[in-house]
Structure 1
């Protein structure tokens, strides 16, 4: 009993002598838990738009392809339905029979006009047939006569173009000259008129003119 009591007394003395148990940990040296490894930060998940862009095509292209796929499926279903005969259980078929349609009659089995599915908004005949468009367009070489005829036609077209341009230029020149003459005539008609002189000045001017005439006559006789 005495040795155990001595050991416990020493332990109590050591516990009281260690002041580190009563002091807070220093902030400069934080405690590290042993055996726990620091994990690297996880990358942030990409945004929703970036994830969509990373998948491939933009949304407009995907939307167009999806629309084309739906149209192809609809066309396939339509063609498959047209290839099959109308069953007798169909309401429209029953109405036709009531109106006198007989499938066994002569000419009743004639094939109807084929249906062509057109997705384009162009009018009939505006677009070439797919079978014709796929054929290679091979141009045959022209003969010498055809080349000569094409050359003469080009020369005639050039001469006609020059003549037409010359006629247009002459017409514009004539109009320009006419407008110029019309403007000159308007200026002549609207020019300022000299006001008449007073009576006394006219008499003096008349006397001066008579003297000049007399002087000239005298000079002639001499």
Structure 2
């Protein structure tokens, strides 16, 4: 994912041709001519319109970024706008199909075999309702211990390491409530791992481990 940090401003100066902003008879905003903004064939509306000053177009950063599929966050403490696009970074090299694990694969690690049945999203999990702006991600998986589980590797949730989110961040927090059964040697045991994430994000992959001796990434998108 690509991230851009902009200090102290909520608008950004751009060449009008690049974003399809062009002068027209749209009235004035604080004495400056309003211009129309079109992104990928769609006219963009904003409570603060785009304007021209000295032949340059100033456009509202948030609505343009979100129209292009990016996530925008404003930190009032540091007066910093952070934009994270959904496109891969410039140096990104997609993993090859060989050795790339996905949901449905039986993945044999040092101490266990793991199979992720799938991932789903919901605003409610059991008796828990997600707060505004968030949703639950629910990961269904099966684990088969290859030996008698040691003390630090006893339940389904112990194979989980972290979530990899669509904005390029990672999150190691999760809960299992009553769906974290104990492991048994050479027996498939099903369980669920759950986390709360912003409603605008998805899970691209998860990292699994068997107490640090072996770690794999399973891709979900």
More helix per residue: 1 or 2?
A: 1
Q: TM-score, normalised by structure 2?
A: 0.17
More strand per residue: 1 or 2?
A: 2
Q: TM-score, normalised by structure 1?
A: 0.17
* Higher RCO structure, 1 or 2 (CA under 8 Å, sep 6+): 2
Larger radius of gyration: 1
